[in-house]
Structure formats: structure tokens, C-alpha cells
Amino acid sequence: MTTFLALSITGLVVGCIYALTACGLVVTYTTSGVFNFAHGAIGMVAAFTYWQLSVGWGWPAPLAFLAVLLVLAPLLGAVVERVLIRPLYGAPIGVTLVATLGLLVTLLGVGFLVWPPDTTRVLPKFFEGHTVTVFSLVVDYNQLLVIVTSVVVAVGLRLFFSRTRLGIAMRAVVDDPELAALAGTKPERVSQLSWAMGASLAALAGVLLAPLQTLNVTELTLLVINGYAAAMAGRLRNLPATVAGALVIGVSSSLVLGYAGPQVVNYVRPAIPMILLFIAVLFLKQERLRAGSLAGLRMPRTTGLRQSVGVGVVFVVVAGFVSGQLSPAHLAIGSQGLVLAFVMLSLVLLSGYGGQVSLCQLTFAGLGAYAMGKTGGGALGLLAAIALPAAAGALVALTVVRLRGLFLALATLAFAQAMDQIFFNHALGYGGTLAIPRPRLPFVDTADDQVYFVLLAVVLALGSVGLLVLRRRAFGRRLIALNDSPAASATMGVSPVRTRLVVFTVSSAVAGLGGALLGGLHGSVSPNDFLLLNSCVLLLLATLGGLYTPTGAFLAAMSYALFPELQKLVPELGQVQFLLTGLGVLALGRNRYGVGGQLADAGEKLRALRLQRVGVARAAG
Amino acid sequence: MNALELIGLRAGYGSIEVLHGVSLVVPAATVVALLGPNGAGKSTLLKVASGTIATTDGCLHVGGVHVNGADAAALAQAGVCRIPEGRGIFPNLTVAENLRMWTGVGDLRPAEVAERTFGRFPRLGERRAQLAGTLSGGEQQMLAMSRSLVVDPAVLLLDEISMGLAPIIVAELYELVGTLAQQGIAILLVEQFAQTALAVADSAVILSQGRVTRTGTPAEVEEHLAAAYLGGAA
């Protein structure tokens, strides 16, 4: 019984922190209509700042606490609203999602930069050493503080949003900012205030969570993600349900940890919040079919068959020539870029054409690599590397078939994180590796790095040409139509379910094959190759490069492959891939078609100019 | 002094200009009907007059004060009240919370706002705890109109308040419009049903393709309506 109580208290404390996180998420979502993926990252930065002030610079703890909570965090929230969110009002959900993901990644980069992980940082608990005994159970003041704070915040928020004019105005602004302005309330001011409040709540959760473990940039960020499930339990609106959900998650995780055998603990416990998040998202109310909305921008022109084949052939020839000139190290980087570009083709299909935001592409790549490794390569291996992720993709598609936008992103996030914890960590060995053979081909020796480089170039060229063929055919038009207006597509007899099933399956298969080839490149894979955060970086880079063009995917993948090199050049920058990607997204995130789209546009203008010149010449002649 | 005055006003959406130099005046305690075919720029004119859309050229005067460049919230504080097309309510707030939002302008306390609204529309009182989005169309429009009752505006801009409503409710709403004008409010009225609007209006303006094509008494303007709407020789 004592064990049970002790476990429950531990769980309750964690649950309370999840509740604080989730409340913060709900506050920003209900008051600005934007789901802040960077919420956890804000909590992380706040916790580190608190450490810096109190431990690093020796400020008194209460002063540091108040400075972080009431000054720095709200300031950060207000600045984020002004710089990042305000220009995006009315933008499609995909754009705001990428923007806050970009912020998440930027803050991660900042975290690594300012607080390099080479030193251990520990925050003392609040009121260290003080305990009370309740029913023969020792509870320390830190735990009490967490519980009391959460109760006060939850009740306070509820009253604030239902009783005060400012709280009501915050909700009203989401409903109809224009009307709010007509009623004499400045919508921007209100939104800014709500972002400040949300950031403050994130900071509170981060600072309370931090003393319970050693400070770690990624862990803190991801732990807070566990609160997402709770926010979903309250459908992102209902605060009491959110708090209840958070407590259930906290206590159940703690009880499982205490009672279940080590087998279950290792496999399932870290994934419990993610599994709950997945389930919660699935049970959300059915969304109505959306009628079309104007994207406002012209899509890049789809390259014709002859031109794309031509470019593909030139690409392969150039790759063949270049492969002879590169040093082994550069060859490896190039190969990495090529194979990642192939993985990104799956994103072009799924997110670019299909408009579905997926945060689990690397998970499918990991499944492909796993299948290849377990079957020992060969034709069978390649087949398995395509079939296993395709099957998994189909399964995911069927479960999330009615979700779109934000909720689809959350479901794929949960899937990626859960697979990470349950599957890859074990199937690929703890931090260990799984050997992946390269595919064998007649006449050529794929074990040779130079040959493999050219092979990858061929595969990428074939994949790109194939993708463009798919885009120009009826299936491609169906995808675009479904993304533009699900309602109109349904009335014309386009089955959303079947189309989405196919696109998910094909895209997972592409990602899987890419994963197998990636594994073959290095000879082995480890769980760290397919982390959720890497999937996020991949999506962001693909967005930057341009989600609509294979060229964009290629550019994005090449820059991803170059990050480790850059890291070696300027090690002070910390984790460059986070910082640079994030900053890039923050700077360019508003351009939906990315660099690839710009290039296509430029090409288009050149063509027009040439045609015009030819016309003039003809007229003159 | 004119409560609302537009002089050579130009405005539009992005690079597309909708109003090409519109001039009109609405004196206090007067109802002016703004008529014209679809796409003439009527709603745009109301949006400009309430600060939702910025003026690109010309002058906007409220109560004799030059207010070009003021945003919607500032103009609301200055006494301009626009009831937008569709339903001017917050669907995900309760009736009582909607009324609480109306206290952003004027100096009435929440209790007084509720009292005044429910006195005029008792049915809203019965539904005070209900989400506004679940009210009937007529009740939603009553709730939207209640804002004009409680913020004591100097200028009231009404955009198609009869849209999609039963005739009996339309009659009730227009009775309120008449009362408000008697209290001294300047009212500019956009209405699809010209007859309904002309019946309560003191004067009327026809707007066509972003320009004022005719101004006069309701009777004078009515003669030219068919031509304005159907595009015949005026």
C-alpha cells in the first residue's frame, strides 16, 4: 500500500507538470489558434535560464524563479508572437505548423549552443531537505510545491477564461479577430498577451520539471511533449479534461514503472504518453470536409517527361564524372545527400503534392533499413525493405485516415516517438547497431564507394522522374484536388480514403527503400539515425528546399548531409543542424514553395523571355 | 455637423481598388440607405468607414474629426459601430460572454449591458448560458444588433442585417433601427431588399462599380433603382 501511495505521489507530481504544460498549450491554442510545437522547447530554455541565473550566477532562487517566469518567458512569448506568429494569421495550418516546428528546432540549437552538453548541470530541488509526512508517507516540499502550483494555476486559468473580460476577449479573438476589433478590442494586443502567458506557463513547467532530473536539452524538450497527450484529452479546449488527462498519464506511467516487470518497463513505459496521444487524437471529433481555399500562390510548373528524363540523364552523367574526382570523405557526404534526397522524395509526394504533414518519414526509413538488415540483403532484402514500410504506412494511413493538418502531424509525431522508444531502441540494439548490406547487382561491384555513389544518383534520378510521371497522371491530379478541396473532390467521386491510403503506402515504401540504401551506405544503422527530431529537421529542410519539386528535395538533402562537415569547421556552434535549419525556417518559412519553387519560377521566366525573343525575331524576319 | 463624412475616398484589397473616390455624408439622427448591385463596393465602404480596411486616398471624418489610418478598435472607441454581414457574434462564446465583449466600448457595466439587451430581446435572456453559435439565425442577429444598443455609438453601420431571416424578425430589427435613429445615431444601411431599406431611410445613395451614381430622397432614388441594378441606361 505504501509503495502504491509513493508511486502515486511521484506520478501525481509528474502528472501535475504535464498538466501545466498542457494548460499552456491549450491557452495558446484557444487564444491564437496556433498549436505551439515549440512549447516544450520554451520550457527547456526557461529551465536552463533558471539554472544559469540561480546556480551559474548565484542569484537567490526565488529571484531567479520570478525573473524567468514573470519577465524573461513572457518577453520571449511576446517577441515570438510579434515576429513569427503575427505575419501568419490566416495562413493554412501547414504553414503555422512548420513555423512553430522551426522555432522548436531553433530553440534546441540555441540550447546546445549556450549550454553545451559536455558539463553536467543539476538544479537543486526547491526547499531541499524539507519534508512532511502524510499517512506514513514522506512527501518533500518540492513535490508539494508542484502539486499546489498546478492546482492554483488550473483553477486560476479556468476562472480567468470564464470570468474576466480579458480572458473572454482572448477566446473571442480566435473566433473572429475582425469582430473583436469592431467591439473595441485590439486583437494583436490580446494575442500577444496570450503568447506571453503561454510561454510563462511553459517556463513554469520546465522549471518545475528540471530539478527532478539532470538538465538535458533534448530530454527536457521531449518530456514536455508528453503533455501534448493531455492537451488532446481536453480536445485542446477543455481545461478540466486536460488536467484530468495529464494526471492519468502521470500516475499510470509511474505505476507501470513500479509494478510491471523490467521487460514491460523498458519496452512500453517511455512510450505510454505517446500511445495515449495517438489514441486521444484518434478519438477526436470528426472534422467536417473543408471546402477549397485559395493557396494564393502559383505552384511551380511540373516538368515535362522529356525534360525530366533529360535532366536525369545529365545528372547521372555528372554524378559519374564527379565520383572520380571526390575524396573518399567527400564521396561519403555526397552519397549521404543523394540517399537523403531519395527519402525526401517521399515527403514531396506526401506533403508537397498530398498536403499531408508527416513527422515520421524517418521512422519508415528505419523500418526499411531494419527489413534489409534482417533479411540479409539481396533481392529479397530490397523487396522486404519496400514491403515492410509500405505495410506500416498503409496501417498508419488506415488509422489516421480522417485526420488532417495539425492532428495528422500530432498522430505521426506520436507514432514516430513511440516507434523510437518501443521498436528501434530494441530491434536495433541499445545504442548498438544493425549491420545493413548493400544491394547486390550484376556486372557492378556495389561494395565500391564510387560505384555506390553513382548507383544512388541513378536511383534518385529514376525516383524523381517517376515521381513527376505520377504527378502528371490522374493520380497526381487527384492528390492536388484532394488537398485543394476535399469537399469538391468527394462530390466528384474521388475517394479520399483510397487516395490517402495509396499515397501513404507509396510514400512509406519510398522512404523505406531510401532507409535501406542509407543503411547500406554506412554498413549499419543505430536507433539514433531515425529520431523524431531528425524527422522534424528533415521536414523543415524539405520545406525550405521546396516541397513541390525534386530539385528542392535534392537541395535540402545536400545541405542536411553537409551539416556534419560544417559542425567540424565551427564546433562552437553546437548542433548546427538545429540552429541553421530553424533560423532558415524562421527567415523563409513564409514562402510555401521554397528554394526549389523559386528556381522553377526563375526557369519559367527565362523560358518566357526566350519565347518572347524568338517571337520578336520571327516578327522582324 | 455630419456624424460621418467620406470625401473622395479610395480603398480596396491589395492592388485591386474597389472604391474609386466615394463621397457621402450621414448626418446625426438620420438613416441613409446605401444601395447598389452585387460587387458595387457597399460592404467595402462600410469596412473602410469602420477602419477594418485602410483608406488609400481621400478623407474619412467621424464627428468632424479626420480619422484616416485609425484602426478598427480605435474607431470603435471613437463611436463607430459596424454590424458585419452574416452574424456579428462570437459563435464559441455563450450569449452572456458575447455581451461581456460588448463592454469593450462605452461605459456600461456588464450587468447594465445584460439588462438593456434582455429588456429589448427577452429571448436572449432565456438563452444566456447557451453558445451563441447554437442560437437560431434570428436570435444570432438580435445578439449582434444588441451591440448597437449598448455601446452608444455615434455612427452605426449595418450590413445586410436581414440576410436569411424570417420577415417577422426583419420587421422587429428594422423597428429597432428606427428607434436608434430617433435617439440621434447616424445610420448607414446596406440592404439587399431595397424596399425594406427605403421604407426606413431619410435619404438614399446608389453605389455602382465603386462610384456614387445617385443621391436623393428615397422616392427619387427608387425610380432609378432598376437601371442601377440591371445596368440599363440611367
pLDDT, position A285: 64
Query: Do A118 and A193 fall within a single domain?
Result: yes
Q: What is the mean pLDDT of residues A378-395?
A: 91
Specify the residue for cell string 462610384: B211
Task: With respect to residue A307, please indicate whether it lies within any of the assigned structural domains.
Answer: no
Query: Do A259 and A377 fall within a single domain?
Result: no
pLDDT, position A432: 62
Task: With respect to residue A293, please indicate whether it lies within any of the assigned structural domains.
Answer: no
Residue A335's H or E segment, with its range, is helix A328-347
Q: Above 90 in pLDDT, residue A514?
A: yes
- Per the structure, the count of domains in chain B is 1
Q: What is the mean pLDDT of residues A343-357?
A: 87
- Per the structure, the count of domains in chain A is 2
Q: Above 50 in pLDDT, residue B234?
A: no
> Do A22 and A227 contact (CB within 8 A), yes or no?
yes
The residue in chain B having the minimum alpha-carbon distance to the alpha carbon of residue A189 is B73
pLDDT, position A444: 79
Q: Above 90 in pLDDT, residue A425?
A: no
Task: With respect to residue A98, please indicate whether it lies within any of the assigned structural domains.
Answer: yes
Q: Above 60 in pLDDT, residue A447?
A: yes
How does residue A405 score in pLDDT terms, banded at 50, 70 and 90? confident
Contact B93 A178 (CB under 8 A): no
Strand pairing of B155-159 and B31-35?
unpaired
Can you give the CATH number for the domain in which B167 is found?
Answer: 3.40.50.300
State how far the alpha carbon of B114 is from the alpha carbons of A154, B93, B99, B121, B143, in Å: 29, 15, 7, 10, 11
Contact A178 B84 (CB under 8 A): yes
Alpha-carbon gap: A27 to the closest alpha carbon of chain B (Å)? 15
pLDDT, position A119: 78
pLDDT, position A467: 93
Instruction: List, in order, residues 6 or more apart from A509 with CB less than 8 Å away.
Output: A386, A387, A389, A390, A393
Query: Do A168 and A44 fall within a single domain?
Result: yes
Domain that holds residue B128: 2-230
Can you give the CATH number for the domain in which A155 is found?
Answer: 1.10.3470
Query: Do A443 and A557 fall within a single domain?
Result: yes
Query: Do A278 and A339 fall within a single domain?
Result: no
CA distance A96 to A102: 10
Query: Do A344 and A259 fall within a single domain?
Result: no
Query: Do A271 and A145 fall within a single domain?
Result: yes
Task: With respect to residue A290, please indicate whether it lies within any of the assigned structural domains.
Answer: no
Task: With respect to residue A13, please indicate whether it lies within any of the assigned structural domains.
Answer: yes
Percent of chain A past pLDDT 70, that is, above it, reads 90
How does residue A290 score in pLDDT terms, banded at 50, 70 and 90? low
pLDDT, position A619: 67
The amino acid at residue A597 is G
CA angle A245, A248, A254 (to 5 degrees): 140
pLDDT, position B48: 94
Contact A175 B93 (CB under 8 A): yes
A476 vs A546, higher pLDDT:
A476
Q: What is the mean pLDDT of residues B4-17?
A: 90
Q: Above 90 in pLDDT, residue A571?
A: no
Query: Do A266 and A355 fall within a single domain?
Result: no
How does residue A526 score in pLDDT terms, banded at 50, 70 and 90? confident
Q: Above 70 in pLDDT, residue A587?
A: no
Collapse the DSSP code of B50 into the 3-class scheme (helix H, G, I; strand E, B; otherwise coil) and give the result.
coil
Report pLDDT digits (tens) over A39-86: 989 999 999 999 999 888 888 988 999 999 999 999 999 999 988 888
Query: Do A358 and A227 fall within a single domain?
Result: no
Domain that holds residue A556: 334-561
pLDDT, position A414: 86
CA distance B44 to B215: 19
pLDDT, position A33: 77
Q: Above 50 in pLDDT, residue B233?
A: no
pLDDT, position A112: 86
Report pLDDT digits (tens) over A126-182: 777 777 777 777 778 888 888 999 999 989 998 998 899 999 998 888 888 899 999
Report pLDDT digits (tens) over B118-155: 999 999 999 999 999 999 999 999 999 999 999 989 99
Which range is least confidently modeled, A324-333, B48-57, B168-177? A324-333
Query: Do A233 and A375 fall within a single domain?
Result: no
| Residue of A168, A175, A184 lying closest to B105 (CB–CB) | A184
pLDDT, position A588: 62
Domain limit, last residue, from A282, A302, A319: A282
pLDDT, position A404: 72
Q: What is the mean pLDDT of residues A309-313?
A: 89
pLDDT, position A537: 84
Closest among B98, B23, B21 to B61, alpha carbons compared: B23
How does residue A589 score in pLDDT terms, banded at 50, 70 and 90? low
Q: Above 60 in pLDDT, residue A298?
A: no
Measured between beta carbons, which residues in chain A are less than 8 angstroms from residue B90?
171-172, 175-176, 179-180
Report residue A134: phi and psi, to 5°. Answer: -115, 120
A577 vs B165, higher pLDDT:
B165
Residues of chain B whose beta carbon is less than 8 angstroms from a beta carbon of chain A are 50-52, 71-73, 76-77, 81-82, 84, 88-93, 97, 100-105, 110, 147, 151
A485 vs A81, higher pLDDT:
A81
Q: Above 70 in pLDDT, residue B40?
A: yes
How does residue A523 score in pLDDT terms, banded at 50, 70 and 90? confident
Contact B151 A184 (CB under 8 A): yes
Q: What is the mean pLDDT of residues A30-46?
A: 87
Closest among A161, A499, A518, A557 to A369, alpha carbons compared: A518
Report pLDDT digits (tens) over B178-187: 999 999 999 9
Q: Above 70 in pLDDT, residue A258?
A: yes
pLDDT, position A256: 80
CA distance A445 to A468: 30
Q: Above 60 in pLDDT, residue A349?
A: yes
Report pLDDT digits (tens) over A241-252: 888 888 888 888
pLDDT, position B39: 85
Query: Do A274 and A365 fall within a single domain?
Result: no
Measured between beta carbons, which residues in chain B are less than 8 angstroms from residue A175?
90-93
How does residue A593 score in pLDDT terms, banded at 50, 70 and 90? low
Contact A172 B88 (CB under 8 A): no
Alpha-carbon gap: B233 to the closest alpha carbon of chain A (Å)? 37
Query: Do A276 and A379 fall within a single domain?
Result: no
